Each structure stands twice: as C-alpha cells, then as structure tokens.
Structure 1
C-alpha cells in the first residue's frame, strides 16, 4: 500500500488547476528539481486556499525573490509581497560553497516548486545543497534561525589521519572566519590556514562562514558560533576531506587541499593608490616656517574647541534622551489587556513598565541574553528586591506571542515546585508584554548537552533526569489540575547555579481536569519531541508529555539530537533517536548508544536503566507507555525494569516505522546533527511524523 502521506500529497497536487483560463494561478514546474536535504518545515495550521490573496502574493513573492537574487548576482534576496493579513515575507540565499550555475538552478527550481514542497502552507523552510528558501505570513527577518543544522560531508575520499592537528587548525580558522563574516557587508568570510599532517607534510584548509544578509552582526555571530560548534563536534571523531553545516540563517564549510568555487561575488573595494602617484608637499622654506607654525597653532586650537564642544553637546543630548525615555515609560504605563485576564492573589506580582525597563537598561543589546520564538530575553536587576532576573520581552506584533504570554501568566503563576522556573512577575504596560523569571546562571540544558568544550558528567545528567521527572509528576498528578506542558525539550529545561533542572516556557501549556488528562487543539510542540500520534490527531495528553520526556532522556544519555544519520554499508538513512537506541537494545548492546564523550565514566546499570525507561516512555503505542510516576519509580530503582520487545513495535495509526528512504552514495552528515540524507520531498514529508 502506498504511504499515507504520498496519497495525501498526490491528491493535493492533482487538485491544482492546469487550465489556461487562469494563467496567473497555474502552477508551473521548472526544468530543474528542488529536492530539500535534511528535514524541512511546512506549517500545518491556518492553510491558505486555492486562488486566495495569500496564494497570489506567494507566487508574486517567488518571482520577486528569484529575479532579485539572480539580477544582483549575489544569490541573495529578501522581500515582502502584499499587505496584511495576506502579506508574505520571503528570503532566499545561495550557499557560498557552490558555483553560480548551481546557484541559479537552485533558485529557479526552489521558487517555482515551492507549492509542491509545501502545498497550501502559510510558512515553509527548506534548503537544497546549493540554496535555502523560506517564507512566512509573519516577518522573520533579522532573527537567526538555529532550529536545524544539516551536515553535508564528502565521504568519497578517505578521512584524514591527523585528527588532532586538523581540529586545532579548524578551530582557529573557523572561529576567525565567523568573527570576520559577522562584521562583513556581505555577511561572508573566506580564508585558509596551513596545518602539518602526521607525516610532516603541509596542507591547506580552506574555510568559509556565511549568514543571510538580513541579520545584524550580533545575530550573525550567534548563528555562526553555534554552527562552528556543530562542525567541530562532528570532526572530533572523524575528519573528512570536505565538510559543511548548513542552516536556514547561516552555514560554515571547509575543504582540505582545494579552494571553493564560490557563487558569491565579493564586494568591490577601491584600489589603493600607488606610492608614486601620491603628491608630496614641498619642503617649506625657512621664511615660511613661522607663518606655518602660527596657522598650525590656530587650526589645532580650533579643532580642539570643536571637539570639546561636540562632546559636551553629545553628553547633554544623551542625558535628555534618557530623561525623555524615563518620562515616556511613566506616561505610557497602561494596561492593554483586561485586568480580569489574570488572577489576583499572592505569588508573582504585576510590575510597572518603568521598573522593568530601568532594570534591563532600557532593553539595550548589552543586556540581551538571547532570542526566543516570540521575543527576546534580557538580564535585569531589581533594586527593591535585590534580585537578578531574566525579563522576556514578548513580540508586540505576534498574536501567538500574545496568546502564549496570557497562558504563561495564568498557568505558571499558580505553580510552585523546586523543579519549575519561578515566575517573579509580569507587566502589560507601556505597550509591552513582559515576563519576569528567576535568572538561571547556567542557561539551558540544550547549550550544555551538545557542547564540545564542557561535557556534562553522568552524575549531573542523572540528577537532571530526576529533576525533570519530578516536575512532570507535579504537573500531571500532584497539582489541583493536570497541566499538559506540550513542549518538553532541552532548550526549555534551565539549569541553576548547582545544575538543578527547572522546566520552563509554559506558553503552550494547557490545564485539564485529572479525569480527562487530554486536550484536543491545534498542532503544538517541536518536531522530534512530539508524539507522532499527537501530530495526526491533534490531541495532547499526559502520554504525549511522557513521550517527549523519553526523547529528552535519550538525548541526555546519548548526546545526540532526535534525528540522526546512520550508515548501513554504503547507504545512508535518517532515523529517529528512539528507533536507533531500540535497535541497540534489540542487539543486547544498549550501552553502545551512550555518549562517547563520557569516555565510559558512568555507572553502566544506571545508564541502562535510564535508556530502557526512556524507550518505555517513547513506546509507539501510547496505551503501553507508563504514567510519569511509574517511570520515576523505575529510575529511582523502586520498581523493576519494564520488559520491552526486542524489535521496536509498529505504530497502528501510521505506515510501518522503518528506515527512511535511502540513497546510495548520498551526501550526509554527522549522526549527532539534526538532519539526514538527500531524499525526495515525499519521503521527508512522511518521515516527519517520526520527528
């Protein structure tokens, strides 16, 4: 039987009109083929309809993106088509490690086949080997997207032997290029560095770092720093001749012994004037020297006076600007939301906008801790409480951000548990939506579990596992209502100064009665951590939270992301982490899946217990998953290990769960990355259910 998603896609594609009666809405297919590599994203809610204004604007956007990117021969363009509520924001860019012919072919194929890749979706993100394309009904410009880092390696040549020497050179080269690209006008830097092989033979490593040009220097640097870490993490075990990590907002790549045939034209710099053409001033005669001295003295004094005056004016203007901003936050300390939206009582308090703006240095870039899905987070100091806090500034233009703000305040403000991030207060004044949390000195679990420089010990990891589990027991069973988190993942697990885990970000959370324990709604969560059945039914429950908990446990144990790439003979396939670990379990070698960076420094029985419990939590059949309290009892050795089948069961609500489509000799990436092989969009679409 044909896969379910293939039939759905075939039905959708066949519904497109091909008549000549409406040429402006007829789908055209280019001679080339755009085949996304790695996972790609198509929104599934609020889809546009055939011949709608959004579809018209989308097609205009695609034409504008392609023509603009090719006309300026820079392989980059971003723009918007139409007006709200049917405006479409789009961006495309050629990867600088590909030549101009590959770039043009990719741009033409991507922009003309976008409706085949994501039929009727209001948002899409995809990349091919030579370019990236994305569009959305909301502006995403100026914010780096780090959700996916896809490895592309050249496995046709044997890997180098002097791994340590190459890695040291790579670290130096790529760090330098990342810094240069962030401040470059093209957001691009290329360079090379020599290293000596194990036999003393010198070789050259060529590298490049590139961002989309809508990013400022800070966002570009943030993106490239993360991608360089990904590149170096894969090279720590085996160094290939060529390797790259490509994403939606930036990419990094290197080649050993061969330079890049780049598609991007460098900026034209003015040629320096030859020394012989520079006019030299004549040597002043003795009679003119006193006059020149007087002129020089007067000129120097005038310049000094101007500088002093200018400095004084700047200080006064800055002082007036600060005072004006302070007066502004007093004047506009209003409440755009209804006061009865939130419960009154003890616990978190409502702040005035002036208090939080002052605490965060008026939200200056120096205080910014990072970017979230619907806003930015800043570090602040509350003098009256003598407390350092994290202040989340929710995007004013995002309706979803506004909904999540309300959900966060209504739910987390009522919860009290040592393993939940504490909400200090909130503010919806000054035309802003602000949330105030306790500051977590060690950031998120995501920044540690995949770090090459600071590998978390097993002792800390096991403590984090029990901390997350304790939080879920409280949410699911111990509080007055059942709270479904719906977005459990490492980036939402924060670590305090002692590396105690605290679950945060309740923007997608919902409260239900204990008797019900499920909630039917629009699709919500993060690919890779979402219960596959929940993705089809739209029904979130305690078991879907337990599934996400199981995936996170495996990520902690294995140090790998939810989607990995595996090699079988000369073929490559993307697999879900759950399936990969289950195969190790079936061979009686589940310990082989443990994070290699731990160098065996862990309790084998504990590691096995956590991984088997994780598989139990992520069981394909949700009726066979444990309640969270049962899982914690096993983790604490208060109950025996569950008996699981040797082979991973096949879920009954979807096609058989097996290796995804394979392609012999395909380019692939690190198994710890978040992407996979080159394969058809239909296969990727079907496989996305497992993510």
Structure 2
C-alpha cells in the first residue's frame, strides 16, 4: 500500500488518498522539524510510553502554545503504516467528546507521525491499578461511573451514529485515556475497521487483546459490533471490580473475570465483587447496573448480548435491568483450534462458561496478560 520515495517521505499509490491527506478539514500536516523540536528530538525524557506499533512522546508546539502527544510509528511495522493511513483518512473525521482527537500528522523525514491532544491523566489502566502498586490513589466510584457512561456514549457513536459503523476491536483500559477532568476518551484505532451499517459480522484475521476478545471471534475471526460490545462488557466489569480479566485459579487454569462475577450474581451477591479498594464507597444501584450490564454484554452467546444502545440505556437508568441466568451459559459455537504460534504464548481453548462448562486458558499466564493479537500475530502491548 505504502511506498517509500527517494526523499524519505511516505506516500500512497492512490492520488485520491493523498488528496484526502492534504485537504482534510480537521487535522493539519506538520513538518518533521516542527515535531522534532517539540519533543527535543524525540528524547527518552519525553517518552510517555510504547505501544504495539510505536512510541508516544510528550511534545509542546510553540506556535500554538499547545501540549500534545506524538506517536512515532515503528519504521518496520506494516500494521503501523495501516494504522497511520486509517487514522489520518478516517478517524480524523470522527467528532465526539469521548474520543481522543487527532490534531495532525506528518509523513516526512522517513517517519510516520500522528499528533493527538494530550491526555494529562494518562490511561485508565494506570489509575485502576496504580494504587494497588503503590503508585497512585484509588479512583473514586463517581469518577469510574462517569468513565463508564462516557465510553458507552463513544461506542454508541462509533457503532450507530456516524456515517459508517466503526469497529474498534481493541477496547481495554490502556486504550482509554483520561483528560484533565478525568473524562474518558477512547483512543488507539490501530486495529479498527469500517463496515456498513447493518452488514453484520465481518470476517477478518484475528486481532485484539487476550481477555477482552469475544470467544467466538477468537475461534472464527468474525468481528462485529457484538464483539466490541463483549470487550466493553469486560471493561465494565474491570472498572467495577478492579481486577484484570484473566486470573489464575485452581490447577493453574485461568478464570475469566466474567465467569467469576457471574457466579456471584447467581448467588445473589454481585455487589461482593466490587473493588475492595473502594471500601464500600459507591452507589449500590449504579454498581449493580454496571456489573449486570457488563455480564449481559459479555454473554457467551453473541446473539443474546445487547446492542450498545440497549446497554447505555440500562446504564443511564432509562431501562430496567435484564434478568440473566443464574449460571453463566455455555457458548454454543464449535471450537476449532487456531493456527497460531503456540511457542510464543502457550495454547488456549475456549469452551464457554458456567455450571456445565468453564472458560480455561493454559500456557504462560504472565505473557497472556500482556499480549495483543495483531492481524493474527502476537505482540507486546
């Protein structure tokens, strides 16, 4: 798709796409020298973090007196180049208060660079677990609940309210950024795909993050709004419980968070799954709604999950809580082993959940928690 020209710039074979780059109404094109100056020549002191496709740096644009986050796409990453083109031509057109805004772009000096608004409070991931690692304070329930509602609003916009349906395909806490007021903004659209409204499941190569991926999607590669809703449901449970989606249980099996919470729901004590670090300081009705909507959204059978509009309506107390089975149902699809490099992260099997089945994953649990599947490949994220 992309070719490197003699002057070190990247351009697309399709002149129409280059025209979109140049005449886009939103983000502006920056010179490489501007962004190098803004980041002290991409110094390590300015580095905010490193993702699957490149590093992110804190920058300051003197001309506009603006602090920004600049993503420097890895030069050897084919997926990174796809992400760059997709974000500039598509994601730049999205406008929603709960989406990270793309400010500008640059393909010059042999580099691919994306410029975003800076999120002063970093990622949700850091705040959910920072206090437990001794590096931060507990995120209050009121803030968590607003984050839930904001993410629901963002996903509703992506799935139903924009001109096309945008499948994010990698919803997780590290891709949720927090602004100065701790308002949530969904970012990192590197794995996103566009589909027409009402098209249904989209067959593609496997992509996403272990623990947040729809079990059926892991098996078939069929992504859809339902698979995004599954990831959203897992994220809701994680926000409410303060626990990672995968945890070791007996016999070194890894139990999914949804299975653990569902067992408490069936026993009539779902609030016992609330993050103990909150010390009971939360609204019981709000907590119950977040957990039950989380379970509903993470239902093993994608046909029984809510649409994102239904989920948001229940979270906003506009609709009553659904009544779910007392035990987590068993997934109904047929398991077919995926042809992936098992030596990289171990093997896994998904067989639903509940009283007559469990979701288990075997292999190296530590690496499972930190791996992202990108177009059928495994990468640290």
State the secondary structure of the residue aligned to 1:347: coil
In 2, Cα distance between equivalents of 1:662 and 1:423 = 37
| Distance of aligned partners of 1:511 and 1:660 in 2 relative to their CA distance in 1, 3 Å threshold | closer
**Matched residue, 1:527:** 210
In the other structure, the counterpart of 1:443 is 122
RMSD: 2.2
Per the alignment, residue 371 of structure 1 pairs with 50
* 3-state SS of paired residue (1:384): coil
Instruction: Pick one of 254, 264, 277 that aligns with 1:574.
Output: 254
Q: 1:626 aligns with which of 266, 282, 306?
A: 306
SS of equivalent to 1:385: coil
- The 1:662–1:563 alpha-carbon spacing in structure 2 relative to 1, beyond 3 Å, is closer
Q: How far apart, CA to CA, are the structure 2 residues paired with 1:385 and 1:607?
A: 42
Distance 2:361 2:117 in 1: 47
Confirm or deny that 1:354 pairs with 2:37. Answer: no
Question: For structure 1, which runs of at least 5 residues remain unmatched after alignment?
Answer: 1-330, 676-691
SS of aligned partner of 1:522: coil
Q: What are the Cα deviations for residues 115-158 of structure 1, in whole angstroms up to 9, with x where unaligned?
A: xxxxxxxxxxxxxxxxxxxxxxxxxxxxxxxxxxxxxxxxxxxx
How far does the alpha carbon of each residue in 1:471-528 deviate from its partner, in whole angstroms, 9 at most, with x for none? Answer: 0010001111111101101000000000000000111111111121432111011110
Give 1:426's match in structure 2, choosing from 105, 111, 136. Answer: 105
Q: Compared with structure 1, are the counterparts of its residues 473 and 335 closer, same or farther at alpha carbon in structure 2 (3 Å cutoff)?
A: same
CA separation of 1:333 and 1:381: change in aligned 2, threshold 3 A? farther
Matched residue, 2:224 = 541
Instruction: Specify the SS of the correspondent of 1:451.
Output: helix
Q: CA deviation at 1:365?
A: 1.0
Alpha-carbon deviation of 1:573? 4.0
Q: CA deviation at 1:572?
A: 5.8
CA contact (8 A) 2:255 2:360 kept: no
Query: For 2:297, which of 612, 617, 630 is the aligned residue?
Result: 617
TM-score (structure 2 length as normaliser): 0.84
CA distance in 1, matches of 2:361, 2:306: 33
Tell me the residue number matched to 1:515.
198
Q: Which residue of 2 aligns with 1:554?
A: 237
String of CA shifts for 1:181-225, please: whole Å, max 9, x gaps.
Answer: xxxxxxxxxxxxxxxxxxxxxxxxxxxxxxxxxxxxxxxxxxxxx
Q: 2:159 is matched with which residue?
A: 476
- Unaligned stretches of 5+ in structure 2? 1-5, 336-350, 371-381
- 1:674 is displaced (CA, Å) by 4.6
Is 1:586–2:266 an aligned residue pair? yes
SS across alignment from 1:377:
strand
Task: Provide the rounded CA distance (Å) in 1 between the counterparts of 2:297 and 2:245.
Answer: 15
2:324 to 639, 644, 647: 644
Give 1:537 deviation, angstroms: 1.5
Aligned-partner Cα distance in 2 for 1:660–1:410: 39
Question: Residue 439 of structure 1: CA displacement?
Answer: 0.3
Question: Contact (CA 8 Å) 1:443, 1:496: kept in 2 or not?
Answer: yes
Which of 1 and 2 has greater Rg? 1
Matches within 5 A, 1:361-510: 361-452=40-131, 453-510=136-193
User: Tell me, what secondary structure is at the counterpart of 1:413?
Assistant: helix
Equivalent residue pairs, number? 335
User: C-alpha distance in 2, partners of 1:530/1:406?
Assistant: 25
Q: Residues 333, 425 of structure 1: CA spacing in aligned structure 2 closer, same or farther, 3 A cutoff?
A: farther
Task: Report SS of the residue matched to 1:474.
Answer: helix
Alignment of 1:137-286 (within 5 A): none
- Deviation for aligned residue 1:660: 6.1
Q: CA deviation at 1:398?
A: 1.3
Residue in structure 2 matched with residue 600 of structure 1 by the alignment: 280
Q: 1:595 to 1:524 in 2, by over 3 A?
A: same
SS of alignment partner, residue 332 of structure 2: coil
CA distance in 1, matches of 2:88, 2:295: 33
Q: Which digits, 9 at most, give the CA deviation of each residue in 1:441-476, with x for residues without a partner?
A: 000001111122311000000000001000001000
Question: Does the 8 A contact of 2:151 with 2:186 survive in 1?
Answer: yes
TM-score normalised by L of structure 1: 0.47
Q: Which protein, 1 or 2, shows the higher relative CO under an 8 Å CA cutoff with sep ≥ 6?
A: 2
Q: CA deviation at 1:379?
A: 0.8
Q: Distance in 2 between matches of 1:438 and 1:609?
A: 32
